[in-house]
A and B are shown apart, each in its own frame.
Chain A
Amino acid sequence: AQSVTQLDSHVSVSEGTPVLLRCNYSSSYSPSLFWYVQHPNKGLQLLLKYTSAATLVKGINGFEAEFKKSETSFHLTKPSAHMSDAAEYFCVGSGFQGAQKLVFGQGTRLTINP
């Protein structure tokens, strides 16, 4: 079945250090891939999206992600974490078997230590 897997349920980093949130997808086709962020008691906000153009995608707030077809991965990175980055992050896919719906990963909770 087509799916999106986030490899870590919880990531904890110190402020100012790099962030890496890992995501793999399973599909016979190249889907559209997104990263969304959800702060406590807030809605889902789109961070960035990959839609078969450039494989390195830059998003908001200094985040970026690289689509690697050979590894079926779409990891999210940020060079320097900020306290305001603490939130739940979802890797999301669309276009599996032509379907329009979004398929969410399980989420990664990012904690930033001062």
Chain B
Amino acid sequence: DTGVSQDPRHKITKRGQNVTFRCDPISEHNRLYWYRQTLGQGPEFLTYFQNEAQLEKSRLLSDRFSAERPKGSFSTLEIQRTEQGDSAMYLCASSPLPDRKKGYTFGSGTRLTVV
């Protein structure tokens, strides 16, 4: 069990560019979650997958954001036409089924800076 891995750890991009982040969950975990954390705030839910199916999306996930988990293993989060307001830490978490009582394992996050 190597934990939840996120890549890259840091990303600096110019406004208007597209960026993609990757998350590798714990291998036996069915569920995968994406959260966003801005400075001084708690993480906010973006979306989650059960295997390859995207089951819920927050209204925070505008049409510039898209997430995939094509084979039910790793997931990608893409932000198109980045804006300065997208600067944040993007966190990935995974959990087994049923997960509510087992807690969630978080990755170290990808810190995005849009300049």
Q: Name A's B-contacting residues (CB within 8 A).
A: 32, 34, 36, 42-46, 49, 51, 90, 94-95, 99-107
Chain B residues within an 8 Å CB radius of A95: 100
Interface residues in B32-87 (C-beta closer than 8 Å to A): 33, 35, 40-45, 48, 56
Given known pairs A43-B106, A43-B107, A44-B106, the reply for A100 and B99 (CB within 8 Å) is yes
Interface size of B by CB at 8 A reads 25
- In contact, B43 and A32 (Cβ under 8 angstroms): no
Of the residues A45, A90, A100, contact of B100 by C-beta under 8 Å: A100
CB distance from B82 to the nearest CB of A (A): 22
B108 touches A49 (CB 8 A): no
A106–B91 Cα distance when bound, in Å, is 16
Q: Are B106 and A100 in contact (CB under 8 A)?
A: no
Measured in the bound complex, the distance between the Cα atoms of B108 and A49 in whole Å is: 20
> In whole angstroms, how far apart are the Cα atoms of A83 and B109 in the complex?
25
B8 within 8 A of A: no
Does A102 lie within 8 Å of B109, measured CB to CB? no
Cβ-defined partner of B108 (8 Å) among A43, A46, A102: A43
Chain B minimum-CB-distance residue to A94: B100
For B42, give its contact among A45, A49, A51, A106 (CB under 8 Å): A106
